[in-house]
Structure 1
Amino acid sequence: ISIAYTAFSPRPSISRHSSIATNPPMDRSKPKDYLILAVIACFCPVWPINIVGFVYSIMSRNSLEQGNIDGARRLGRVAKLLSVVSLVGGAIIIVACAKTFTQNAFNYLNNKL
């Protein structure tokens, strides 16, 4: 039997287990490094951003291997953010280029006929 303080009461309580306040539950699941997303983002035409996202993904994987779970989680979130920005930016660039190309081709064909 041990005396522990609960999170909601200033009075001690007699219990067999420690309280939630002394041992908070930690989310120690394996953090994602988003490597697949970063590799896919490398095919988008936003090269500086997607390469940096890929590097952050690798750094996240290395941090996890070294046992730094919090650092791996933080680096993984940055890799995910940069990869999503790269995918969205790449989609915008591809759509804009396709629109410009079709407009120019249409104008060229109209002028030729």
Structure 2
Amino acid sequence: MASSIGYTAFSPRPSLSRHSSIATNPPLDRTKVKDYLLLSVLACFCPVWPINIVGFVYSIMSKNSLEQGNLDGAVRLGRVAKMLSMVSLVGGTVIIIACIVNLASECPKSDL
């Protein structure tokens, strides 16, 4: 019966508590989807190579998903690329600082 309260086109039977997900989830805008390609390229210069390469691959996959029209997949892959790139940047910064501190502690101090 199409006139009952809470009937949705996707539901096989009427329900009073369920509503269509189309009304609650607005469609994604293509311009708002980010692939974080620049961030992942910058992360490739950090010395955490397996992580930043995987982040770069996820960024490319996000860009390809967006070009194919899969907005949900592009958003999901973009988030993973962002997370891996940020982990790579933070890890690379920690490694570089640790190397500088280690090298500075091993240098002999000159008496001037």
Structure-2-length-normalised TM-score: 0.76
Counterpart in the other structure of 2:94: 92
| RMSD between superposed Cα atoms in Å | 2.5
Counterpart in the other structure of 1:75: 77
Deviation at 1:4, TM superposition (A): 7.1
Query: Size of the alignment, in residue pairs?
Result: 100
Which structure has the bigger radius of gyration?
1
Counterpart in the other structure of 1:28: 28
Unaligned runs of 5+ in 2: 8-14
Counterpart in the other structure of 1:40: 42
Provide the C-alpha distance between the structure 2 equivalents of 1:4 and 1:86, rounded to a whole number of angstroms.
54
User: What CA deviation, in whole Å up to 9, does each residue of 1:64-84 have, x standing for no partner?
Assistant: 101111111111011001000
Structure-1-length-normalised TM-score: 0.76
Provide the C-alpha distance between the structure 1 equivalents of 2:95 and 2:29, rounded to a whole number of angstroms.
37
Unaligned runs of 5+ in 1: 11-20
More strand as a share of residues: 1
